Structure 1
């Protein structure tokens, strides 16, 4: 079989290698055609297009130079002509490097015409620069035009040759692709036919016999009887058929042995079923007395020993259950008493914690109020200090007003002197007017008016002095009043300072007391939490003890269901009264502390 498979797959590998080789050679040839098209055809066409563009650009430069309007434009066009000539020759040289080798003469001709075009353009520029406009225009229309057309014509000829060359390459590539396609299809069809032939051959020589042997094996495994085919073959399938035949013979022999063992097992299983049913009904006094085959004699002895050990175990469990039930009842009663006392202590601690918490809150409120009072006292001290500053400013202002009044008194005195001198002058003027007679009458009238005005000035100065004197008296009185106010404010500031000191001490004491009460509250809270946890643990212990008592009672009842032959010797269970535990209600926690924790309770605990 391995040789057949090796030969079949070797043929398939050869076909695959031929198809791959054909694909490789075809792909390489097509790649060469594509590379030639890209590197020479398309690149050459692009280079020739650049040549035509450069020729047209030179033609435009020549016409522009002929029509140049200024020296700067002319210089610029000469520079552009030089650059254009170089670019044209470069483009021709570039095409020479990438063009087809078969186009060598045409490329040389293109180079010659490019040089001729540049020489004609140089002569046209020389004529235009010398000022011979007509000769320059004539050369532009004759030699220049012909050189440009010759250059373009040669370029287009090369473009047409390149197109034909590319078309030929494309036809060669198409023929190669068609040949490769036909060969690939032919080889693929041949490979498919070969694979179908190999599959039919393997199916007939390998798969069908293996399927038949699998059916025979399944039939034998299910207990059926059938002949094993293909035992006469000399390959692997024949070896498998021989092995299956040996399995069939061994299975027949095994079936005969199993039938004999089945009869012996039936006797053993029947006896065990009867004994186990008696055990399930609670009868542990039954032993196996029937005769077992020698192979199962040890099973009989082991069963009887197990029943005897189970009988002794159940008897011991029943006696221990009675003792455990009595002890668990006592533990449950003690746990319930401990739970009640622990719950009472927890309630007392909780009430104490609540009371201390209230004290802590009140002390905190008192401390906060003292702090606010200290802040108010600080504000009052600030206000009193501001009042004293304002009083000092008022006293200083009054002093400045008093000094100003003294200055005004000097001014009034000066005005009084001026009025007196004015009156004296008016009297002198009146005397002089009397001496002058009629000529001095008008001057006498003026002197009288001036004298009257001077007398009025003296009267007003007197009144101003009296008002100023009264004002100075009032200012002195105001200064004394402000000084008394400043003294009162000073006394108030001293009293407020003392009050501030007392309130600060009170606030500090309250803070210290609040901190102490907070620590006490935290400690009692911790004790309360621990006591609550202890109460919960005691309650859980009590519940566990009750559950244990219930489980032990159930165990004792179940043990009593078995008959061990010692029922008369087993002690009768002693009934134990179980106490009911009253659950702690929320109201019990809020009872007065003196009603919860008494000396008798602690002594009992």
Structure 2
């Protein structure tokens, strides 16, 4: 039976109302039957009235018969008796009409209205038409005859009346018994019907309590436990009928939704924790990368500043991370190459300076000897031999100096290329920083768009009302996450911008170093040209001194020429000494360490930077 709760309540209400209606109907029926004007009472009253009318014999006939006898005895009062008899006749006629329409049993009604009335109808004509006129005329014979006839009619009528009285008594007894039975029946009915109605009402109430109130109380207690946060209990009344079943289904859906929301909140908390951990890891990685990059930039900046100040011992001994290891190795290699080149240049410069001083001293001695040449010509051969050996060594040293100068120029060019590569690498780092800044900008834009989407989702969830509250929480968390991503992107962008500025500073310093190396290369080229000229002059001197050995006899002719040549040589040697001193002073600005210093192992394999 598929009934709703409202239909069940209506059914129980109908049952109760029906029971009350039945009780009222039975009560009304019983009261209507037993009331004073009811059928039972009317039947008993009619039977009692019938007996009253016919036992003793009807007053109308008895009095009329009595009046007839009195009129015979008192003829003087005949008129009075005639009026009384006429009234009694009229009263009998009215009473006979009443009994003809009274609700009596058929046998009694027939005997009263027909059998007994037949004698009465004979009685009145004899009395009124024969006896009374005979009394008025004093006709004793007719009076006696009429009186005898009235007495005979009266006696027959009385026998019929007694029979009717007996039957009426039996009818009255039966009617009273029937009335008592009906009273007992209706009393029993009035007792049983309320009991049955009470049982029906109890059954209806039990039905409502069992199928409605008890499941409703159970589901109410369960919903109260749900409201307190207890989701462990099983849902009661799963097989409940009516709207309770729908409520149970709704509670099941509500419980499932809350459990899903709790699971979603747990997942969201886990996702938030994972996001926080990921953000912390990313921040740690970014901080580590920024620290490593700052360390690299600071180390390179310190090395380049020292390099720009002429300190060629500025090797970077600290370990770099894997992505910057090549940069450190290239820098150390360039510094080492420049250190070795400058060490050779310094050695060559010292040699040139020493040779220049010797040449200057020799030129001074030659000048003094030229002054005394005439007096000491015999010493010329030995002096020329010494000069020839000295000039030969000078020529050899000059050629060696030229070779060293050429090598220094090549090394300076190689150092320039290394610096150029360094500048290229720093430019690449700057480009990478710029690209990272662009990527961070894209991430910032994505975070902004995500924030807008989360804001729109929150608005839509607010429009959805209670159903969108969980989604509103998710939208709020997504918006917060997007805001944190945007803040992190801005921080990373700021760090990258600062790194880009530091890299730009490093590029500028390396570029200045490259320019300094270009100037050094130009000075080395000048030094190479000077040494080449010295070597050429030394070769010419060696050739001339060889000819002097063959032309000692012509010494006198060329004494003046030799004096002039010695003067030129002295001037050239002074100029060479001055250039050598300036070159030594310039090269002395570089610190190349001790001669026995072992270069840093710049080509050794490095472990990954932690």
Above 0.5 in TM-score? no
Task: Compare CA radii of gyration and give the structure with the larger one.
Answer: 2
What is the TM-score normalised by the length of structure 1? 0.33
What is the TM-score normalised by the length of structure 2? 0.33
